[in-house]
Structure 1
Amino acid sequence: MSAFFVTGTDTDAGKTLVTSGLLALARRRGLSTLGLKPVASGCEATHEGLRNADALALQAQSHPATDYDSINPIAFAPAIAPHLAARRAGLTLALDTLVERTRPLLERGHNLALVEGAGGWRVPLNESEDLSALAVRLELPVLLVVGLRLGCISHARLTAEAIRADGLTLAGWSGSLVDPEFASDAALYRDNLATLEATLSAPCLGIIPWLGTGEARTMAESAAEHLELPDGD
Structure 2
Amino acid sequence: MKKLFITATDTDAGKTFVSCAIIQALVKQDKNIAVFKPISAGCDLVDNVLVNEDAKLLHEHANCQQTIQEINPIAFEPPIAPHIAAKSVGKQITLDIIANYFQEIKNRDADYALIEGAGGWQLPIGFDNGNAKFLSDFVATERLPVVLIVNMKLGCLNHALLTLQAIKHSGTNCIGWIANCADSNTMDNLQDNIAALDQLLQLPKIATIPYFDGETSLEDKIQQASLLINTSFL
TM-score with structure 1 length normalisation?
Answer: 0.92
- Find the aligned partners of 2:24 and 2:101 in 1 and give their Cα distance: 24
- 8 A Cα contact 1:163 1:170, kept in partner: yes
Please list every run of at least 4 consecutive aligned residues from structure 1 whose deviation after the TM superposition is greater than 4 angstroms.
Answer: 212-216
Give, as a single letter, the amino acid of the residue that structure 2 aligns with 1:51: V
Matches within 5 A, 1:212-231: 216-229=218-231, 231=233
Q: For residues 230 and 59 of structure 1, do their structure 2 counterparts lie closer, same or farther at Cα, with a shift above 3 Å needed? A: farther
- Find the aligned partners of 1:20 and 1:89 in 2 and give their Cα distance: 31
- Find the aligned partners of 1:170 and 1:156 in 2 and give their Cα distance: 12
- 8 A Cα contact 2:39 2:74, kept in partner: yes
- Find the aligned partners of 2:84 and 2:164 in 1 and give their Cα distance: 25
- 8 A Cα contact 1:35 1:61, kept in partner: no
Pick from 144, 149, 172: which aligns with 1:145? 149
SS at match of 2:231: coil
Q: For residues 67 and 142 of structure 1, do their structure 2 counterparts lie closer, same or farther at Cα, with a shift above 3 Å needed? A: same
Q: Which residue of 1 aligns with 2:139?
A: 135
- Find the aligned partners of 1:230 and 1:196 in 2 and give their Cα distance: 20
Q: Which residue of 2 aligns with 1:104?
A: 104
Give, as a single letter, the amino acid of the residue that structure 2 aligns with 1:197: D
SS at match of 1:175: strand
Shift of 1:210: 1.3
Shift of 1:124: 0.1
SS at match of 2:134: coil
- Find the aligned partners of 1:175 and 1:39 in 2 and give their Cα distance: 24
Q: Which residue of 1 aligns with 2:182?
A: 178
- 8 A Cα contact 1:57 1:217, kept in partner: no
Shift of 1:211: 2.3
Deviates more, 1:165-174 or 1:210-219: 210-219
Shift of 1:103: 2.6
- Find the aligned partners of 1:216 and 1:38 in 2 and give their Cα distance: 23
- 8 A Cα contact 2:64 2:110, kept in partner: no
Alignment RMSD: 1.7
SS at match of 2:165: helix
SS at match of 1:108: coil
- 8 A Cα contact 2:9 2:163, kept in partner: yes
- 8 A Cα contact 1:23 1:34, kept in partner: no
Give, as a single letter, the amino acid of the residue that structure 1 aligns with 2:165: E
Give, as a single letter, the amino acid of the residue that structure 2 aligns with 1:223: A
% identical aligned pairs: 34
TM-score with structure 2 length normalisation?
Answer: 0.92
- 8 A Cα contact 1:148 1:175, kept in partner: yes
Shift of 1:216: 4.9
- 8 A Cα contact 1:39 1:73, kept in partner: yes
- Find the aligned partners of 1:116 and 1:148 in 2 and give their Cα distance: 19
Q: For residues 147 and 230 of structure 1, do their structure 2 counterparts lie closer, same or farther at Cα, with a shift above 3 Å needed? A: farther
Q: How many aligned residue pairs are there?
A: 229
Matches within 5 A, 1:30-49: 30-49=30-49
